[in-house]
């Protein structure tokens, strides 16, 4: 019987493999990505694991998962800030209200933030 090669390349998926004992293990490495995936990236990662395992595996194998999640997190945070500012303007939540009645201001801001997060979750995270 011929000896198995220590390293092989699979042209079908573009991955290199290393022989460990009797199995070929893919040589996977993390991309050189320094951006954090943040709260929304982690939520979407868990969603992908549970609801779309094939897409999740594909992103891991192509080494694009971290970049994808970091981009998604940045988009979600920017969109959240924009939605909150628009809702504050539309509902008249101002610094004047904050100076006049802090408790009402906090309640209204929390309500706005909660609604904005629901919008982000339905538009970007759980799709």
What whole-number distance in Å separates Cα of residue 71 and Cα of residue 100? 39
pTM: 0.74
15: β partners = 10
Residue 1 has pLDDT above 60, yes or no: no
* pLDDT value, residue 3: 81
- Domain regions of the chain by residue span: 1-30, 36-125
* Per-residue model confidence as pLDDT tens digits over 90-112: 999 999 999 999 999 999 999 99
Supply the mean pLDDT for the chain.
92
* Per-residue model confidence as pLDDT tens digits over 2-36: 688 888 998 888 888 998 988 888 887 766 778 89
* pLDDT value, residue 54: 96
Burial tier of 54 (Cβ tally within 10 Å: 0-12, 13-18, 19+): exposed
């Amino acid at each position: 019987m011929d000896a198995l090669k220590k390293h092989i390349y699979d042209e079908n998926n573009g991955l290199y493999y290393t022989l460990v004992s009797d199995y070929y293990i893919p040589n996977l490495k993390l991309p050189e990505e320094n951006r954090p995936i943040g709260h929304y990236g982690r939520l979407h990662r868990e969603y992908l694991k549970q609801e779309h395992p094939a897409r999740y595996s594909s992103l891991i194998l192509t080494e694009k998962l971290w970049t994808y999640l970091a981009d998604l997190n940045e988009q979600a945070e920017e969109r959240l800030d924009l939605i909150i500012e628009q809702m504050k303007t539309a509902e008249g939540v101002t610094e004047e209200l904050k100076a006049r009645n802090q408790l009402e201001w906090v309640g209204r801001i929390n309500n706005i933030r909660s609604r904005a997060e629901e919008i982000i979750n339905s538009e970007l995270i759980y799709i």
